[in-house]
Amino acid sequence: METFWFIAISIVLVIFFILDGYDFGAGIIHLFFAKTEKDKEVITKSAGLFWDSNEVWLVAAGGMLFMAFPTFYASVFSGFYLPLIIVLWLIIFRAIGLELRGQFKFQMWKDIWDKSFGLSSLLLALFFGIALGNIVRGVNLGGVENGESAYEGHYFFLPLWDSSFSPLSKTPGIIDWFTIIIGLIAVVTLAIHGANWIILKTNSSINSYLKNIIFKLNISLAVLTIISLAVWNMVNPNSFNNFGHKPYLLIFPCIYLAGLIGLFFIKKLKKDIHAFTLSTLLIVGGITSSLASLFPVILPSVNTIHEPLTIYNTSASEYGLSVAMNWALIGFILLIIYAIVQKRLMAGKIDHMDYGH
């Protein structure tokens, strides 16, 4: 039952990063490459028409986490309290940036909310990547210092950064040079995904230019991926053991590799949906590879006093998991119906659809 819930929550999280990921990416592209008012407006539409329905998947993942793994939920939401508050404010400012931009025609008003949308999207991509970096690196469970625990073994609290700024520290912070690398990978990946979404859904004047941008970003992503694998093995020497013991898990890195290699041929792809599919493979492969490398651990411990959090020592009771499944099934069906209806209503190019006025 625990494995089922782990897979179900992983699927919902992957769907969230595929769907809201193109919103983050569109914001990054909007911030750096949209120069004309027409392009700014249409790129804003490409995110604004979809962001509210896409973020439902994040709420669903949080609810499922609470139902299935309450100990992990309590640990993470207290330990990562500070960055979670930052993420909450970034989500708010991204949303109001999208919603308020078109309310007045004053240029200064538009510029303010354009920056709100773009910077919030960039920082959200960075912080979500840093969050993944913290999960694969591990945290100081129990707040151990000088061999003594400050609190229970499944709790922790991290500052934004440690004075050493090192992932090898016994008391690491949220931000260090390893998690920054993972954060940059997330930014580049979602920028590629957002650019592909803009090409797919709009007739923006920069669409052909964006293909050159995607190609260059993909080169950066390949370099960052190689660096991250080397560093990851240094931070956690057992990080690739699961793939040796269970070779079928190699399907997940292969999915990532397929997306990465395929995007080098972005200029030769005849259909826009093909490029978007390849960047989707990047997201699917990247997240699932990270989770597969840890399984059944869901939060490693950087000290030897407290054992890591796993799907087994953080799960609800068998009865609780079975009851939760009934409600999750109803909720998941509603989510699917909502997504299908919304995507069908917004099918095709969205240039002439009204938004934000």
Q: Are 24 and 124 in contact (CB under 8 A)?
A: yes
- The CB density around residue 176, as the number of other CB atoms within 10 Å, is 22
- pLDDT above 70 (res 101): yes
Per-residue pLDDT, 195: 95
Tell whether the torsion through CA atoms of 112, 95, 102 and 279 is positive or negative: positive
Whole-number Cα distances in Å, 193 to 85, 199, 279, 283, 289:
26, 10, 5, 9, 18
- pLDDT above 80 (res 280): yes
Q: Answer left, alpha or beta for residue 142, where phi above 0 means left and psi between -120 and 50 means alpha.
A: left
Q: How confident is the model at residue 193 (pLDDT cuts 50, 70, 90)?
A: very high
The mean pLDDT of the chain is 89
Q: Give the separation between CA 264 and CA 275, rounded to whole angstroms.
A: 10
- Greater confidence (356 vs 139) lies with 139
Tokens, residue 291:
């989770």
Q: Which of 315, 330, 343 is nearest to 60 (CA)?
A: 330
* pLDDT tens, residue by residue, 215-268: 999 999 999 999 999 998 888 888 888 898 899 999 999 999 999 999 999 988
Per-residue pLDDT, 49: 83
Q: Which position has the token pair 């039952």?
A: 1
Q: How confident is the model at residue 11 (pLDDT cuts 50, 70, 90)?
A: very high
Q: How confident is the model at residue 2 (pLDDT cuts 50, 70, 90)?
A: confident
Span 313-319, average pLDDT = 87
* Burial group, residue 272, by CB count within 10 angstroms (0-12, 13-18, 19+): middle
Q: Are 192 and 217 in contact (CB under 8 A)?
A: yes
Tokens, residue 126:
């960075």
- pLDDT above 80 (res 351): no
**Percent share of the chain, pLDDT over 70:** 99
Does the predicted TM-score (pTM) go above 0.85?
A: yes
Span 297-302, average pLDDT = 89
Per-residue pLDDT, 306: 87
Per-residue pLDDT, 356: 58
- pLDDT above 60 (res 357): no
- pLDDT above 80 (res 355): no
What would the DSSP string read from start to end of 268-317? G-SSHHHHHHHHHHHHHHHHHHHHHHHTTEEE-BSSSSSPPEETTTS---
Q: How confident is the model at residue 171 (pLDDT cuts 50, 70, 90)?
A: confident
- pLDDT above 90 (res 203): no
